[in-house]
A and B are shown apart, each in its own frame.
Chain A
Amino acid sequence: MTHDGIGAPLRRKEDRRFLTGRGRYVHDIVRAHQLYAVFLRSPHAHAEILAVDAKAALASPGVAAVYTAADIAGKINGVPCAWGIVGRDGKPMKEPPHPPLAAGKVRHVGDPVAMVVADSLAAARNAAELVQVSYKVLPAVTAVAEAVKPGAPQLYDDVPGNLCCDWAVGDKAATDVAFAKAHHVAKLDLVNNRLVPNAMESRAALAEYEPSTGEYTLFTSTQLPHVARVLLGVLMLGIPERKFRVVAPDVGGGFGSKQVVYAEEALVTWAAGRLERPVKWVAERSEAFLSDAQGRDHVTHAELALDRDGKFLGLRVSTLANIGGYVSTFGPNIPTNLYGPLLAGAYTTPAIHCEVKVVFSNTVPTDAYRGAGRPEATFVLERLVDVAAHELGLDRVEIRRRNLIPKDAYPYQTPVMLQYDTGDHAATLAKALELSAWSSFAERRAASAARGKLRGIGLVTYIEACGLAPSRIAQQLGARGGIFESANIRVNPSGDISVITGAHSHGQGHETVFAQLVSELLGVPCANVEVIHGDTARSPFGLGTYGSRSAAVGGAAIAKAAGKIIDKGKKIASALLEASEQDIEFKNGAFTVAGTDRSKSFAEIAGAAYTPPPSYPLETLEPGLEETAFYDPVNFTYPGGCHVAEVEVDPETGVTVLVAYTAVDDIGTVLNPLLVEGQVHGGVVQGVGQALCEDCVYDPASGQLLSGSFMDYCMPRADDLPLIVSETACTPSAHNPIGVKGCGETGTIASPATVMNAVVDALAQYGVTHVDMPASPQRVWQAIQAARLRPVAE
């Protein structure tokens, strides 16, 4: 048998349906007599709704219903937040209501105002144009730095200063002491630009209602069907779980934007019940730009205190985080709990204090986007380390070496909550320097210079926290539920296996990688293992997929369930083989009496479980072979590593090209190297997109989204990229039963800072010390021009 368990570069089981056009996304599902929903959205960033007149729309041909805030008042509750944070004064964040259809006021362009349901998409669109809404336009504020100023437009009457929460982490007094004795303080102001996740499948929802049983089924493009069922069903619609099935079929990418629960999903479900007909909604791309939760959007001031030798003594960070017009599902948690505690990075900095003002503005709400808080932290820290190295005249590699947490210091308690379990940063740094040919960079720089180009190289040594999440810690930090994962392993009578996971795959390849895991643990061929996910009617309650948690938490749940299967198998084998249970060993897919050749295959044990032979002790041992496990991790997992980027800048045009990229990531045990590499490539490129081209821009005067399509929002394309060199290292996670750490976000966490460090290095000869993202031609050219105009200090 070829080895197709842990570590095998197995080709994916799920590929065939996608490659032959047989994938089944919500877009593709059609129900008999279905109706089509269209949302009328606010054209204004901030306005009072004076009146809504739906009469003409209702009279339009084919229209089944038009719903506005008045129609759903008291029937659908507001969109809930699943993670409430607590401010430094001990008070909970401000959590104003988030009505599914704007009530009284609209707070961003794209805020839904009315829902039109009709026989056809065309009829619904035509009718939506006939809904008359009169607005009183109010001054809007979109930039976070403006939103906190006195006199700024206020989104909510009872949220003074637009301040959702004033949050902090770390020991301020200890940090002040560290700064007081510093030899040098490096300072940096930076912006982490807002991004649009842009999964290629736009969000879609199709709901149906069965009047005979009162059951609802919602097909929706979500990363977390069970969580959606609770938030949409129980909290928003008053539909109990037992009457509500949520199915996430094939989902075309998520990146965090589909771990958010949205008003449209609740409205479509509600309308299906009212109208007793299936109702389908598919977002258009322009609509996605105005309604999918967006990411990042920070303005930060940071300071690093160092001693004479370049050792970090203390770090102070002050951030304004823009969460948009409403509190999104996990919105306030991202720039706080997933950001501040990550500022220790891979370093021994003994004192850290981070304060974050979480601020409302007239923009689309922000929430998790691949990396979620951790790329922002890495960007602050790693840019600042480079600035410090420059100011102290230290080599950028050397300053990192002096401050990295040594391998033998793990487990390592940081001053900002986290306890890192394992890592070896010196090793990943050395490997990345070697693979990227760091030491011969001067030659490549000279070759570029000969062609009139500026070449720069940059590196980042990072650590991140993923494998969300230990429920106990998460709840202390404001999570309104546990964050464990579930698995059910059903050994079928013939010995083949169904694995039902609470995690959800929207590109990750769980159908393959979880089958590999079970193949390894139970010794059955991968081909005989089927992984099922994404349907609340089939899987036990699970939390879904986000925060690089599927392998670390979902995989661990599977391992736990497999352990239970083996335990039961041993009991069965002990009866069948007439040996004591302690003497039964499970190895290579067989149950053997230790030290003998008496053995039963896995299939024989499965058969016996369902067709109990006379020796099966039915009085004391239940028949059947199926086990469920819930796994709650004791800690986060901490992938880390080193990335290196090289860029070439044309000083005449400011055009910046990424010419080389190396990623060395310690992600613990590798389940499938092929899939890991794919995750790293994709993650790196999303971060490169932020660094070089992607930018979500609002017009400050009108609050209109200026980058509202693929024409204006620059997605990275194939010809923007070099070959990425990716390698993994492995210090297994110490607390995770399979040793995995997670690989979904490492690329996005490390690459923006890596690329920007390279860009700044390329421009160093002009005295440029920082460039904000994206390093667009215009911005880079301006940085060069500004530097040329500056008198040279030396």
Chain B
Amino acid sequence: MEIKLTVNAQLVTVEVEANLLLSALLRDRLRLTGTHVACDTSQCGACTVLVDGASAKSCTLLAAEAAGSSVVTIEGLAADGALHPMQQAFHEQHGLQCGFCTPGMVMSAVDLVAVNPDPSEAEIRAWLKGNICRCTGYQNIVKAIRAGAAALRSA
């Protein structure tokens, strides 16, 4: 079937099979490989993107379900080469090591801050339940999200 959706502010018209996952559409068809797939049970959050502004696990959505929606991936977060304040905060706070969980973490954080502009440490930790990181022990991710939230509040 043919679907239309907006991906990183560009209108996309693609032919998809009914069982194609949004993660596969993004990675394989649109070559937006910043969205990662790290599990097959919807547990890790590496595939998190924004769908109409809210974070969603793209491995758990059919591409067809995203028809008509606006999808933002990690590649679409920064405008004109500048880092988004949340990306900048992950950099400043050393919130990433191998980088594999990072796109999902950042997208999830962007959504958190949209619904809760000043999250506490406990709120951040609770929000990240659906995102697994094996490298960082989460501590600097939590710090980064606090810093990113502060930067966004003052922006």
B58 in contact (CB, < 8 A): no
A700-713 vs B, CB cutoff 8 Å, 1 = contact: the mask equals 00000000011100
Please count the residue pairs between chain A and chain B whose beta carbons lie under 8 angstroms apart in the complex: 172
Q: How far is the CB of A672 from chain B (nearest CB, A)?
A: 9
Spot the interface stretch: A20-28, A259-267, A515-523.
A20-28
A4 in contact (CB, < 8 A): no
A-chain residues with CB within 8 Å of residue B55 when the two chains form the complex: none
A12-43 vs B, CB cutoff 8 Å, 1 = contact: the mask equals 10111111111111011010000000000000
Q: Is the interface of B mostly helix, strand, loop or mixed?
A: loop
A-chain residues with CB within 8 Å of residue B134 when the two chains form the complex: 198-200, 253, 255, 682, 686, 715
A717, B129: Cβ atoms closer than 8 Å = yes
A508 in contact (CB, < 8 A): yes
B-chain residues with CB within 8 Å of residue A11 when the two chains form the complex: 91-92, 94
A19, B97: Cβ atoms closer than 8 Å = no
B94, A721: Cβ atoms closer than 8 Å = no
Q: Which residue of A lies closest to B73 (CB)?
A: A21
A-chain residues with CB within 8 Å of residue B40 when the two chains form the complex: 284-286, 709
Within 8 A of A (CB), among B15-62: 27, 31-41, 43-44, 46
Q: Cα distance A253–B37 when bound, in Å?
A: 14
Q: Given A678-B140, A681-B137, A723-B139, do A15 and B96 touch, yes or no (CB 8 Å)?
A: yes
Select which of B43, B92, B131, B137 is within 8 A of A709 by beta carbon.
Answer: B43
B34, A715: Cβ atoms closer than 8 Å = no
B41, A509: Cβ atoms closer than 8 Å = no
Q: How far is the CB of B41 from chain A (nearest CB, A)?
A: 5
Q: Cα distance A347–B55 when bound, in Å?
A: 51
Q: Which residue of B lies closest to A17 (CB)?
A: B99
Select which of B74, B98, B106, B124 is within 8 A of A718 by beta carbon.
Answer: B124
Q: Given A253-B100, A717-B128, A719-B129, do A20 and B34 touch, yes or no (CB 8 Å)?
A: yes
Select which of B44, B102, B142 is within 8 A of A710 by beta carbon.
Answer: B44
A-chain residues with CB within 8 Å of residue B46 when the two chains form the complex: 200
Query: Which one of B32, B100, B138 has the highest number of Cβ atoms from chain A below 10 Å of its Cβ?
Result: B100
B34, A23: Cβ atoms closer than 8 Å = yes
Select which of B27, B73, B135, B139 is within 8 A of A253 by beta carbon.
Answer: B135
Q: Cα distance A21–B103 when bound, in Å?
A: 6
B-chain residues with CB within 8 Å of residue A19 when the two chains form the complex: 74, 83, 87, 90-91, 96, 99, 102, 106
Q: Which residue of B lies closest to A711 (CB)?
A: B41
A482-513 vs B, CB cutoff 8 Å, 1 = contact: the mask equals 00000000000000000000000011110000
B33, A28: Cβ atoms closer than 8 Å = yes
A252 in contact (CB, < 8 A): yes
B-chain residues with CB within 8 Å of residue A678 when the two chains form the complex: 94, 97, 135-136, 140
Q: Given A27-B36, A711-B41, A718-B142, do A21 and B94 touch, yes or no (CB 8 Å)?
A: no
A18, B99: Cβ atoms closer than 8 Å = yes
B-chain residues with CB within 8 Å of residue A507 when the two chains form the complex: 97-99, 135
B78 in contact (CB, < 8 A): yes
Q: Which residue of B lies closest to A509 (CB)?
A: B97
Q: Cα distance A14–B31 when bound, in Å?
A: 21
B-chain residues with CB within 8 Å of residue A286 when the two chains form the complex: 40-41
B71 in contact (CB, < 8 A): no
Select which of B39, B87, B129, B137 is within 8 A of A682 by beta carbon.
Answer: B137
B7 in contact (CB, < 8 A): no
B64 in contact (CB, < 8 A): no
Known: A20-B78, A253-B134. 9 other contacts (CB 8 A): A200-B38, A200-B100, A285-B38, A286-B40, A507-B135, A674-B94, A682-B137, A709-B39, A715-B132
| 5 A-B contact pairs sorted by A residue (CB < 8 Å) | A507-B97, A675-B94, A717-B132, A718-B138, A718-B142
- Which residues on A are within 8 Å of B, measured CB to CB? 11-12, 14-25, 27-28, 30, 198-202, 250-253, 255, 284-286, 506-509, 674-675, 677-678, 681-686, 709-711, 715, 717-719, 721, 723-724, 747
